[in-house]
Amino acid sequence: MHLDLATATLTDVSTGYVPELRFSDGTVLQIESEGRIGRPGSDARGANSDDDNALTALTQLIGTAVRTAAFDKEDGTLLLDFADGTELRVDGDPDYESWTLRLADGTIFVSQPGGQVVHFPPAANE
């Protein structure tokens, strides 16, 4: 499923319990499983590990626009392609939620254990 994040830029990366990426349009992505970040053909780094290089790769994307964003409803794979050619990929996990995406309008998508993505529409007051 295609997500309308084009022109949204990454504005902040925080690394509490799970990495959280905040975008200029109000979208928030939490990476709750092993993600991979890198350029096609390069060695990708774990995007939620304790690897300082992965954190550096995420923070270096601050200010970079999202070119395309999409997820597969069946296997839970999320792919964000940034304007500089960097890709962030988070695969579905058989045992755990792998990512949560909250759009600016309050819509929430969650990749559940096993990879199926569930959709929660915005609350009536949002």
β 35-38/87-90 pair status: antiparallel
Residue 57: what pLDDT? Answer: 82
| Contact (CB, 8 A) for 61 and 51 | no
pTM for this predicted structure: 0.88
Residue 91: what pLDDT? Answer: 92
- Taking residues 89-114, what's their average pLDDT? 94
List C-alpha distances in Å: 12 to 21, 24, 55, 71: 6, 9, 12, 22
Using the structure block, give the residue that is written with the tokens 């839970």: 76
Model confidence band, residue 10 (pLDDT cutoffs 50, 70, 90): very high
